[in-house]
Amino acid sequence: ARRGLETLAGLLAVLKAGACYVPVDPGHPDERISYLLESSEPLVVLAQIDLLTRLPELQVPVIALDRPDWSQRTDNPSVPEMTTQHLAYVIYTSGSTGLPKGVMVEHRTLNNLVDWHCEAFNLRTGSHTASVAGFGFDAMAWEVWPALCAGAV
Q: What confidence tens digit (pLDDT) does each residue in 11-26 have?
A: 998 888 888 999 999 9
Confidence (pLDDT) at 13: 87
Structural domain containing residue 24? 5-65+84-150
- For residue 73, being part of any structural domain is answered with no
Confidence (pLDDT) at 126: 94
Confidence (pLDDT) at 82: 82
Confidence (pLDDT) at 83: 87
Tally of domains in the chain = 1
- For residue 72, being part of any structural domain is answered with no
- Regions in the chain scoring below 70 on pLDDT: 70-71, 73-80
- For residue 117, being part of any structural domain is answered with yes
- For residue 70, being part of any structural domain is answered with no
- For residue 12, being part of any structural domain is answered with yes
Confidence (pLDDT) at 101: 93
Confidence (pLDDT) at 31: 92
- For residue 74, being part of any structural domain is answered with no
Confidence (pLDDT) at 78: 60
- For residue 144, being part of any structural domain is answered with yes
Q: Which long-range contacts (CB under 8 A, 24 or more apart) does 68-72 make?
A: 70/6
pTM recorded for the entire structure: 0.86
Q: Which helix (H) or strand (E) holds 90?
A: strand 87-92
- For residue 75, being part of any structural domain is answered with no
Pure H helices in the chain: 5-16, 30-40, 107-120, 139-150
CA dist 48 and 64 (Å) reads 5
* CATH code for position 125: 3.40.50.980
